[in-house]
Amino acid sequence: MILIQVFGSENGEVPSELSLRTETFTILLLGVLLISFLLISLARLYNTKSLKTVIAVFFKNSSVEQELKENMSLSSLSSFLLILNYFISFSLCCFLYLNRFMLLDNLWTTVIAIIIPLAFFVVETIGLILIAWLTGEKKQFFPTIVITLTGNQFIGIAFALLSLLWIMNPEFNKLFLIIFLGLFLLKYFMRLLKNSFIVLSNGVSWYYLILYFCTLEILPFFIVYYYVTKNFLV
């Protein structure tokens, strides 16, 4: 009888308090997502070519800088808004994963979900700037930063759409997790392939490329993999 009073009636009814808490939680997530879509809409409002440009640049191998120069500068407000959306939508997807699969409490889930996009951004952009400064190949490495930023803008839009579907359809958690990981891997490998092609085409020595891969691509993923397997997959 005590268990029935705590968890619901004998016919399996969910307590109204639990249902209300779930609804409130969903509304909060949708509120954050609304900010994401607002940023995308404002970017489109300030520059009608912004979304089209981001999509075109993501799948282009050459003339990326020319495309941006003609349609959307990286220093423009639309570009900044799309980068901001990347952080919000990426964090939201990370939150959904941590909350629904890792079953962490909301505070830790929020903190980790915010840190993950920031950490990747630092590795991807600040890391490239550091390598360019150490090697003295600043001009040759600049296009890789452009590719990285536009890739984040594109994938941020995809993460926002995914978040909407994920929040509204929690019964398909595993499917949306697969899509989330697929989008992340798409961004990762597209960035690696395009950046490698551009750097080698600009005459940068191959051993600088190996230095970049070892220090800023392989090592961080190895550290993350080691930490996850030791702390979560036990």
Q: What confidence score (pLDDT) does residue 7 get?
A: 38
**Tokens representing 25?**
């939680």
For residue 83, give the nearest of 111, 26, 31, 124 by alpha carbon: 124
Confidence of residue 22 (pLDDT cuts 50, 70, 90): low
Q: Looking at the domain assignment, is residue 18 inside a domain?
A: no
Q: Looking at the domain assignment, is residue 154 inside a domain?
A: yes
For residue 39, is pLDDT > 90?
yes
Angle between helices 173-201 and 77-97 (to 10 degrees): 140
d(CA 165, CA 158): 11
Q: What confidence score (pLDDT) does residue 207 get?
A: 66
Q: Looking at the domain assignment, is residue 169 inside a domain?
A: yes
Q: Looking at the domain assignment, is residue 205 inside a domain?
A: yes
Q: Looking at the domain assignment, is residue 232 inside a domain?
A: yes
44-83 confidence digits (pLDDT tens):
999 999 999 999 888 877 677 777 888 888 889 999 999 9
Q: Looking at the domain assignment, is residue 142 inside a domain?
A: yes
pTM, two decimal places:
0.80
Q: Looking at the domain assignment, is residue 160 inside a domain?
A: yes
For residue 175, is pLDDT > 90?
yes
* Residue 210 or 159, more confident: 159
Burial label, 58 (beta-carbon count in 10 A; 0-12, 13-18, 19+): buried
Domain that holds residue 202: 74-234
d(CA 214, CA 131): 12
Q: What confidence score (pLDDT) does residue 194 get?
A: 83
Q: Looking at the domain assignment, is residue 9 inside a domain?
A: no
- Candidate ranges 33-42, 62-71, 100-109, 213-222; pick with highest mean pLDDT: 33-42
105-138 confidence digits (pLDDT tens):
788 889 999 999 998 888 888 777 777 777 666 6
The number of folded domains in the chain is 1
CB-side neighbour CA atoms (13 Å) of 168: 9
SS3 59: coil
What is the DSSP code (8-state) at residue 76?
S
Q: What confidence score (pLDDT) does residue 13 get?
A: 47
For residue 68, give the nearest of 82, 87, 88 by alpha carbon: 82
The answer to which of 56-70, 83-97, 166-180 has the lowest mean pLDDT is 56-70
Confidence of residue 3 (pLDDT cuts 50, 70, 90): very low
